[in-house]
Amino acid sequence: MAEVLYVKQGLIGPKLELHIAPEGLTLVQSDTGRTDYAPICDISQVTASKRGRVADLTVTFGALRPAWSLKSVPLASAQWAQSVIAEERNALAKREKPEYSQPVRGNRLHDMCAQIIASGNGNAAVDLVDFIVAQGVLHGASDVHFDPYSDAVVVRFRLDGVLYDVARLHPSIKRQLASRLKVVSKLATFRKSVAQEGRAALKIGDRTVDLRFSSLPTIHGEKVAVRIFDPAKSIFDVADLGMSADMLGSLQRLLMAPQGTVLLTGPSGSGKTTTLYAALSYLRENKRNLSSIATVEDPVEYDLQVVNQTQVNTASGLTFANALRTVLRQDPEVIMIGEIRDPETADIAIQAGLTGHLVLSTVHARSAAGVLLRLIDLGVEPYLLASSVSAVLSQRLVRTVCTKCTGAGCEQCANTGYSGRTGIFQLLPVSDALRECVLKRRSLVELEEQVRAEHVPSLLDDGQAKVRAGVTTQEELTRVLG
Ligand SMILES: [Zn+2]
């Protein structure tokens, strides 16, 4: 888990390290031949007494353990340690408050933000960021946005794929807020004109969530977005994706095949990653004698124990294609590739699907049939494509009707009538007739005609079945499918 490590050491005196773990700060006294740890929550007092250019730092704990007395610590280090420990202790104390364990609903959230700013103490931005991000997690948001405008900073939560304004902050807080967000995520605070990405961990109650920050300069200041990765939501099960029993059975058969390529398509935020992870989890649990599963992703969104996950890093030359080549040398049985978007990756992936590997990946296209043409555009030979790809799964996410109020609107669903989401799918097995179309380089219109001729249910068909079953609504289906 992410850990921040502060080390301050002067030329003389003992070495002192502060580890900020999700559980809170850990103080480490690491001197010649001796290392001693203490969690910050046990510290009762920390004092630095100045002696010329050095100081004695005394850390006292509860009654159970003796105090640490560090002699001749460089003055700057002692003062620094004292201030960091004090700040972290305040942060820990704050997280005991109810607003860190309960979601604050409706206008109260906006009002509490206004109160924090009005309280006017120097730490308003610190408190605001902690409060808002914690609330985002407690509301089950996937993202928290801080959008700067000339007259306000608008805070938005993305809930079930839809962005909602939850607070408008006074514009005077704009600069401090952006700096604090960057400090938390370890971004370079002095760099204001470039896009940046960073990470942090946040402990809420007894769980720890992973946060990914990105900042982007706009004409009204920096826009910061925080993505929330909650391990509580990282249990992936193909049975929970929202597929009909028939489709689920077909998918499971495709996954159990010894080789082939199964491709997913859908716009960003359509649940493709969740489906891929669910498929990998299924394989891990159900495929006998499975030697190994490897992934190449950008980014790695969840840590899937037992699966070898590789993060693409274009800046250091580890592209999808390079990473994939390396992974293939180790000959895993199953390979998941985050996305096929360049000719090299397309070529390697399709070849791998023909040579004893099961390949799972995503391709950007407007329809399941469009995926096949997209790969031809990327230079894949039609004859290889026709033999390698076993099926294409197209998907979207629709919000589901709140079961607590059955759509009428209640506190649980913030009066939207919706709570949670489910997938709608088209699973297109690549039939012999479709293979023939690919080999003859038929147009998209012709491919789609063939799909219809085979009576493969469309996304709309699947969506309408879910409307009839009362799982979602016609309005929601129209919103998503247009
Ligand atoms: Zn409701």
Q: What is the CATH number of the domain that holds 159?
A: 3.30.450.90
Domain count for the chain: 3
Which of 229, 260, 276 lies at the terminal end of a domain, its last residue?
229
pLDDT exceeds cutoff 70 at 436: yes
Question: Ligand 1 centre from 139 Cα, in Å?
Answer: 14
In a domain, 102, yes or no: no
Cβ pair 61, 38 in contact under 8 A? yes
User: Are 223 and 262 in the same domain?
Assistant: no
Which comes out higher in pLDDT, residue 458 or 44? 458
pTM: 0.73
Question: Ligand 1 centre from 360 Cα, in Å?
Answer: 36
Q: How confident is the model at residue 55 (pLDDT cuts 50, 70, 90)?
A: confident
Range of the domain at 434: 234-481
Question: Ligand 1 centre from 156 Cα, in Å?
Answer: 20
pLDDT exceeds cutoff 60 at 42: yes
**Alpha-carbon torsion (447, 453, 457, 460), positive or negative:** positive
DSSP secondary-structure letter at 100? Answer: G
Arithmetic mean of pLDDT over the chain: 85
In a domain, 99, yes or no: no
Q: What is the CATH number of the domain that holds 83?
A: 2.30.29.30
In a domain, 28, yes or no: yes
User: Are 317 and 417 in the same domain?
Assistant: yes
368, containing H or E segment: helix 368-377
Question: Ligand 1 centre from 194 Cα, in Å?
Answer: 41
pLDDT exceeds cutoff 70 at 308: yes
Span 318-327, mean pLDDT? 90
Check residue 481 and give its pLDDT: 95
Question: Ligand 1 centre from 473 Cα, in Å?
Answer: 14
User: Are 138 and 220 in the same domain?
Assistant: yes
pLDDT exceeds cutoff 60 at 302: yes
Question: Ligand 1 centre from 431 Cα, in Å?
Answer: 43
% of the chain beyond a pLDDT of 90: 47
Span 399-417, mean pLDDT? 90
User: Are 210 and 321 in the same domain?
Assistant: no
Q: How confident is the model at residue 191 (pLDDT cuts 50, 70, 90)?
A: low
User: Are 414 and 431 in the same domain?
Assistant: yes
Check residue 5 and give its pLDDT: 47
Question: Ligand 1 centre from 421 Cα, in Å?
Answer: 13
Question: Ligand 1 centre from 416 Cα, in Å?
Answer: 7
In a domain, 195, yes or no: yes
Ramachandran region, residue 140 (left: φ > 0; alpha: ψ -120 to 50; beta: rest) = left
Residue 169: strand pairing partners = 153
In a domain, 101, yes or no: no
Question: Ligand 1 centre from 232 Cα, in Å?
Answer: 22
User: Are 127 and 270 in the same domain?
Assistant: no
Check residue 75 and give its pLDDT: 82
User: Are 41 and 87 in the same domain?
Assistant: yes
Question: Ligand 1 centre from 278 Cα, in Å?
Answer: 28
Question: Ligand 1 centre from 468 Cα, in Å?
Answer: 19
Question: Ligand 1 centre from 105 Cα, in Å?
Answer: 13
Question: Ligand 1 centre from 414 Cα, in Å?
Answer: 7
DSSP secondary-structure letter at 61? Answer: E
User: Are 365 and 448 in the same domain?
Assistant: yes
In a domain, 254, yes or no: yes
% of the chain beyond a pLDDT of 70: 88
DSSP string covering 83-99: HHHHHHHHHHHHTTSGG
Span 373-399, mean pLDDT? 96
User: Are 323 and 405 in the same domain?
Assistant: yes
Task: Spell out the SS3 assignment of 125-170.
Answer: HHHHHHHHHHHHHHCCCCEEEEEECCCCEEEEEEECCEEEEEEEEC
Q: What is the CATH number of the domain that holds 303?
A: 3.40.50.300
DSSP secondary-structure letter at 180? Answer: H
pLDDT exceeds cutoff 60 at 14: no
Span 234-240, mean pLDDT? 85
Q: How confident is the model at residue 13 (pLDDT cuts 50, 70, 90)?
A: low
Question: Ligand 1 centre from 472 Cα, in Å?
Answer: 13
Question: Ligand 1 centre from 203 Cα, in Å?
Answer: 28
Check residue 8 and give its pLDDT: 47
User: Are 423 and 342 in the same domain?
Assistant: yes
Which of 69, 94, 119 lies at the terminal end of a domain, its last residue?
94
Question: Ligand 1 centre from 164 Cα, in Å?
Answer: 16
Check residue 35 and give its pLDDT: 66
User: Are 250 and 347 in the same domain?
Assistant: yes
In a domain, 154, yes or no: yes
Check residue 119 and give its pLDDT: 83
User: Are 330 and 473 in the same domain?
Assistant: yes
Question: Ligand 1 centre from 418 Cα, in Å?
Answer: 6
User: How many separate helices (H) and strands (E) can be counted in the chain?
Assistant: 14, 20
Span 311-316, mean pLDDT? 82
Question: Ligand 1 centre from 317 Cα, in Å?
Answer: 48
Which of 213, 229, 245 lies at the terminal end of a domain, its last residue?
229
In a domain, 343, yes or no: yes
Span 386-401, mean pLDDT? 96
